[in-house]
């Protein structure tokens, strides 16, 4: 199953909630998922600072759980 994931801002979440280590942890996890084929393609939007991912997975809920773990870092 392919899933198109488009990043969007979450209302009420401000930049001060992001820790300095979060971008590198998120990038590292994205690279790991890309290497095993879970993320097929990664794009960055030109009109705003956001990512667009093409995911490949058999179980959407299981992959979503993987990203939730990354967000908790």
Structural domain contains residue 14: no
Structural domain contains residue 54: yes
Structural domain contains residue 66: yes
pLDDT of residue 73: 33
Q: Which domain holds residue 26?
A: 2-7+20-71
Neighbours of 40 (CB within 10 A): 14
Instruction: Look up residue 39 and give its two tokens.
Output: 């993320």
**How many domains, the chain?**
1
Name the helix (H) or strand (E) containing 42: strand 39-44
Distance CA 43, CA 54 (A): 9
Instruction: Look up residue 12 and give its two tokens.
Output: 């009420």
pLDDT in tens, 2-57: 888 888 888 888 888 888 898 899 899 999 989 988 899 999 999 988 899 998 87
Structural domain contains residue 62: yes
Q: What single string gives the DSSP state of each residue in 2-31?
A: EEEEE--PPTT--GGGS-TTHHHHHHHHHH
């Amino acid at each position: 199953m392919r899933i198109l994931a488009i990043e969007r801002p979450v209302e009420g979440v401000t930049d001060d909630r992001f820790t300095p280590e979060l971008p590198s942890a998120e990038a590292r996890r994205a690279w790991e998922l890309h290497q095993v084929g879970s993320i097929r393609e990664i794009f960055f939007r030109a009109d705003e600072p956001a990512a667009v991912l093409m995911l490949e997975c058999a179980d959407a809920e299981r992959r979503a759980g993987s990203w939730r773990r990354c967000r908790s870092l």
